[in-house]
Structure 1
Amino acid sequence: MIATVEDCAVIVLQNTSLRVTVLEDDAVLRERILLPRLREQGFDVVGLGTAAALERMLATRLPDIVVLDIGLPDADGFVLAQSLRSRFPAIGVVMLTGRHSPHDKVRGLVEGADAYLTKPVELGLLAATLHSLGRRLQAADDEVVPAISGWRLDGNGWRLLAPCGQPVALTRSERPLLYCLMQHPGEVVGRETLVASLTHDAFSFDMHRLDSLIHRLRRKIAAASTHPFPLSAVHGAGYVFAP
Structure 2
Amino acid sequence: MTLTIALLEDDDMLRERILLPRLADFGFLIDGMASAAELELRLLRGVPDIVVLDVGLPDASGYDVARSLRMRHPRMGIVMLTARRDTPDRVRGLNEGADAYLAKPVEIDLLAATLHSLARRLHGDAPSPVATDGWRLADNGWRLIGPSGHGAALTKSERRMLQCLVDAEGETVARDRLIAAVSDNVHDFDPHRLDTLIYRLRRKVAEACGDVLPLSAVHGEGYVLTSLR
**TM-score, normalisation: structure 1:** 0.51
Counterpart of 1:109 in structure 2 is 94
Partner AA of 1:133 in structure 2? L
Counterpart of 2:25 in structure 1 is 40
Counterpart of 2:141 in structure 1 is none
Partner AA of 1:76 in structure 2? S
Q: Could you tell me how far apart the structure 2 residues matched to 1:57 and 1:19 are?
A: 12
SS in 1 for 2:80: strand
Counterpart of 2:170 in structure 1 is none
Q: Could you tell me how far apart the structure 2 residues matched to 1:88 and 1:75 are?
A: 18
- One of 64, 68, 75 as aligned partner of 1:79: 64
Question: What pairs up with 1:46-195 in 2 under 5 angstroms?
Answer: 46-139=31-124
Q: Could you tell me how far apart the structure 2 residues matched to 1:124 and 1:41 are?
A: 9
Q: CA deviation at 1:119?
A: 0.2
Q: Could you tell me how far apart the structure 1 residues matched to 2:44 and 2:5 are?
A: 16
Q: Flag structure 2 segments of 5+ consecutive residues without an equivalent.
A: 127-149, 151-229
Q: CA deviation at 1:47?
A: 0.3
Partner AA of 1:103 in structure 2? P
Partner AA of 2:20 in structure 1? L
Q: Could you tell me how far apart the structure 2 residues matched to 1:134 and 1:87 are?
A: 18
Q: Could you tell me how far apart the structure 1 residues matched to 2:16 and 2:9 are?
A: 9
CA RMSD of aligned residues (A): 1.5
Counterpart of 1:147 in structure 2 is none
Q: Could you tell me how far apart the structure 1 residues matched to 2:115 and 2:42 are?
A: 20
Post-superposition Cα deviations, 1:69-120, rounded to whole Å, max 9, x if no partner, equal: 0000000000110000000111100000000000000000011000000000
Q: CA deviation at 1:121?
A: 0.2
SS in 2 for 1:45: strand
Q: CA deviation at 1:137?
A: 1.3
Q: Which structure's CA Rg is the greater one?
A: 2
Question: What pairs up with 1:7-18 in 2 under 5 angstroms?
Answer: 15=1, 17-18=2-3
Partner AA of 1:30 in structure 2? R
Say whether residues 1:21 and 2:2 are aligned partners.
Answer: no
SS in 2 for 1:137: helix
Q: CA deviation at 1:122?
A: 0.4
Q: Could you tell me how far apart the structure 2 residues matched to 1:97 and 1:43 are?
A: 20
Q: Could you tell me how far apart the structure 2 residues matched to 1:60 and 1:40 are?
A: 23
Q: Could you tell me how far apart the structure 1 residues matched to 2:90 and 2:15 are?
A: 22
Q: Could you tell me how far apart the structure 1 residues matched to 2:78 and 2:69 are?
A: 8
Post-superposition Cα deviations, 1:174-193, rounded to whole Å, max 9, x if no partner, equal: xxxxxxxxxxxxxxxxxxxx
Q: Could you tell me how far apart the structure 2 residues matched to 1:60 and 1:38 are?
A: 21
**TM-score, normalisation: structure 2:** 0.54
Partner AA of 2:122 in structure 1? L
Structure 1's consecutive aligned runs of 4 or more residues displaced over 6 angstroms after TM superposition are none
Q: Could you tell me how far apart the structure 1 residues matched to 2:121 and 2:5 are?
A: 15
Q: CA deviation at 1:62?
A: 0.8
Q: Could you tell me how far apart the structure 1 residues matched to 2:94 and 2:30 are?
A: 23
